[in-house]
Chains A and B, each alone.
Chain A
Amino acid sequence: MDLVIINLIDGLFYGLLLFMLSSGLTLIFSMMGVLNFAHASFYMLGAYFAYQISMYLGFWMGLLVAPLLVGVVGALVERYGLRRVHQYGHVPELIFTFGLALLIEEVVKFFWGNNLMAYQEPEILKFALFSIGNNAVPAYKVFMIFTSVAIFIGLLYILTRTRIGMIIQAALSYPRTVEALGHNVPLIFMGVFGVGTALAGVAGVLAGPVLGTFPGMAFVLGSIVFVTIVIGGLGSLWGALVASLLLGWLTTFAASSSFSFATILESFGMQRPESLSDSYLRDLWTLTLPQIGPILPYILMVLILVFRPHGLFGKRDV
């Protein structure tokens, strides 16, 4: 029972981290109609920027400044890259962001090399807040959980309760009408892209010390973020939240279970062969759920796309 509670907390942490990434991605998608393949690369930039800043000014300045920098980079990419490719259509846009992801990884390697960066959480949060059983819950993780919840509430408030949020929402659905009313729609698009990437930057700053800061960090997380918003339904903020939490708990519980596929084979009345190396099913006999845990999201995504192409909460097709 203790383990279930602790897994719930861990899954919440991982899910909310995914949500910080997927919320920005889904926001950008509802604006431009294109999936930003490079979104996780901005997450990586966030971690590296914050690491560099924290060397001189400490963690908190990094948390403050790095996302802003990432947002500026994102806005520049939109202004000088994406806007140009936009005229060719959605597929070239997707290819553009794919190339951008490659380029950012190489640029990071150029400046920081291949090694892991010793990016650390702040000293003040380096303690175990409480323990369940023997399992400690670090204060830093709790801090992260609260930060991401605060970001979600803030985002929701801005989008639904403020004037600027209204204009953004209107510009998403009827860009021409909004433009005719005298608003600078390209500027709004650039701003939303900047904010979306800055959110990814925040996620990077916060996750860097926990999950490691290295050139492969974007690749490891990149496609999972994609999967999240496809499952949740493209363009839906609530969908992104639900899917993030779902995937967070799914991967956590899958990894912590000790379910073995041999149980299934035995329930079919099969006998475990004496010598496994000759059996064609040898991989199934030794397969466990934690082994395939990380690919469960992909299975889920393919199933969802086949049977419910607009995702759990999406209003339109992908």
Chain B
Amino acid sequence: MDALTDSIVQNEDISKVYLIGQDYSFGKAVAEAAQRDLGAKKASIEIVGNELHPIGKVKDFTPYARKIVSSGADAVITGNWGSDMVGLGKAIIEAGFTGPIYTYYAASNGITRTFGEAGVGKINLVGEGALNPSGSPEVDAYVEAFEAKYPDHDISQPRIANVVRMLALAIEEAGTATDVIPVAKALEGMETDNFWGGKIKMRAEDHQAIQDVYVMEQATGLKHLLDNSNFGLETAVKVEMASADMPTTCEMERPE
């Protein structure tokens, strides 16, 4: 969310934002975080709508799209996924909305393909790893190997590459894989190379992974494509070490 709001704040064209999400914890969390961050970073941004819809129950998203267009919003933020994401996105674009739609899960699994041409330049996605341009030749090789093995799937969760790497490092450092507490202690505060480029740091206080976060745009003519379509995601904004400056209020208890 920090990265997402950063890129909205930097965008001069956006002064009105509409929040919409599924009526459950993630949808609510996205809305809350967006409100808080936008308010703190740029008070002139107006939140013209903040709405939740029942999860998996809406058949036709057009009425929501109408409200968004009529509200005069310049950008939409949503945490929707799956068919709710496609339904909402298509309805918003078809209703004549021209601004960007900021999302978390609007790619792969048929979603990129379904948006197709209509999504170009409109669908924005926040993620922890970018493919276009990729961070290094290793990333290229990794992605190509994945695509060769699973032609029907994409790397939709780049963070997993880091998860496995960091876990392996921690196990090596702790010298044990069965005793979980030393492994957890090794992970705490770990700072290492991010597979997708730059560094990644597990902040000791609250166990948040601080890393580069990318805001990507649906585009065509890219090197790495998604869904076996002609479309993929291209990095628009890269926020280095996102949320590193965010204060933490975490007071978790740790096992001895």
Total contacts A-B at CB 8 Å: 119
Report yes or no: B59 in contact with A224, Cβ–Cβ below 8 A: yes
Q: How would residues 202 to 229 of chain A score, 1 for a CB under 8 Å from any chain B CB and 0 otherwise?
A: 0000000011101011001100100000
Report yes or no: B86 in contact with A116, Cβ–Cβ below 8 A: yes
Complex Cα distance, B59 from A119, in Å, reads 17
Q: Name the A residues within 8 Å of B54 (CB-CB).
A: 291-295
- Chain A: interface residue total (CB-CB under 8 A): 45
Report yes or no: B109 in contact with A115, Cβ–Cβ below 8 A: yes
Report yes or no: B83 in contact with A212, Cβ–Cβ below 8 A: yes
Which of the 9-residue segments B6-14, B64-72, B132-140 touches chain A?
B64-72
Report yes or no: A255 in contact with B86, Cβ–Cβ below 8 A: no
Q: Answer whether residue B220 sits at the interface, using C-beta atoms and an 8 A cutoff.
A: no
Complex Cα distance, B23 from A295, in Å, reads 14
Q: Name the A residues within 8 Å of B64 (CB-CB).
A: 255-256, 290
A262-305 CB contacts (< 8 Å) to partner B: 288, 290-295
Report yes or no: B70 in contact with A211, Cβ–Cβ below 8 A: no
Report yes or no: A116 in contact with B63, Cβ–Cβ below 8 A: no
Q: Answer whether residue A117 sits at the interface, using C-beta atoms and an 8 A cutoff.
A: yes
Among the listed A136, A253, A294, which residue makes an inter-chain contact with B57, where contact means beta carbons less than 8 Å apart? Answer: A294
Report yes or no: B59 in contact with A220, Cβ–Cβ below 8 A: yes
Which of B66, B70, B116, B229 lies at the interface centre, i.e. has the most chain A CB atoms within 10 A of its CB?
B66
Report yes or no: A212 in contact with B95, Cβ–Cβ below 8 A: no
Complex Cα distance, B86 from A210, in Å, reads 10
Report yes or no: A291 in contact with B114, Cβ–Cβ below 8 A: no
Q: Given contacts A10-B60, A133-B69, A211-B59, are A116 and B95 in contact (CB under 8 A)? A: no
Q: Answer whether residue B53 sits at the interface, using C-beta atoms and an 8 A cutoff.
A: yes
B65-92 CB contacts (< 8 Å) to partner A: 66-67, 69-70, 72, 82-83, 86-87, 90
Complex Cα distance, B54 from A290, in Å, reads 8
Q: Name the B residues within 8 Å of A2 (CB-CB).
A: 70
Q: Given contacts A116-B109, A118-B110, A118-B114, are A220 and B70 in contact (CB under 8 A)? A: no
Complex Cα distance, B223 from A197, in Å, reads 44
Q: Name the A residues within 8 Å of B83 (CB-CB).
A: 116, 212, 214, 216-217, 220
Q: Answer whether residue B39 sits at the interface, using C-beta atoms and an 8 A cutoff.
A: no
Q: Given contacts A118-B227, A220-B57, A255-B58, are A136 and B67 in contact (CB under 8 A)? A: no
Report yes or no: B63 in contact with A212, Cβ–Cβ below 8 A: no
Q: Given contacts A210-B90, A256-B67, are A10 and B58 in contact (CB under 8 A)? A: no
Q: Given contacts A118-B110, A118-B229, A135-B96, are A14 and B60 in contact (CB under 8 A)? A: yes
Give the nearest-CB partner of A2 in chain B. B70
Q: Given contacts A116-B111, A136-B94, A216-B83, are A6 and B66 in contact (CB under 8 A)? A: yes
Give the nearest-CB partner of B64 in chain A. A255
Q: How would residues 132 to 161 of chain B score, 1 for a CB under 8 Å from any chain A CB and 0 otherwise?
A: 000000000000000000001000000000
B90-130 CB contacts (< 8 Å) to partner A: 90, 94-96, 109-111, 113-114, 116
Complex Cα distance, B54 from A224, in Å, reads 15
Complex Cα distance, B52 from A14, in Å, reads 21
Q: Name the A residues within 8 Å of B240 (CB-CB).
A: none
Q: Answer whether residue B162 sits at the interface, using C-beta atoms and an 8 A cutoff.
A: no
Report yes or no: B96 in contact with A255, Cβ–Cβ below 8 A: no
Q: Answer whether residue B15 sits at the interface, using C-beta atoms and an 8 A cutoff.
A: no
Report yes or no: A291 in contact with B53, Cβ–Cβ below 8 A: yes
Q: Answer whether residue A151 sits at the interface, using C-beta atoms and an 8 A cutoff.
A: no
Complex Cα distance, B59 from A127, in Å, reads 22
A-B contact list, 12 entries, CB within 8 Å: A2-B70, A14-B59, A113-B152, A118-B114, A119-B114, A135-B69, A210-B90, A211-B60, A211-B87, A212-B114, A221-B59, A288-B51
Residues of B with Cβ closer than 8 Å to A?
23, 51-54, 56-60, 62-64, 66-67, 69-70, 72, 82-83, 86-87, 90, 94-96, 109-111, 113-114, 116, 152, 227, 229
Nearest first, the 9 closest Cβ-Cβ pairs linking A and B are: A136-B96, A116-B110, A118-B113, A255-B63, A115-B110, A256-B63, A294-B57, A10-B62, A118-B114
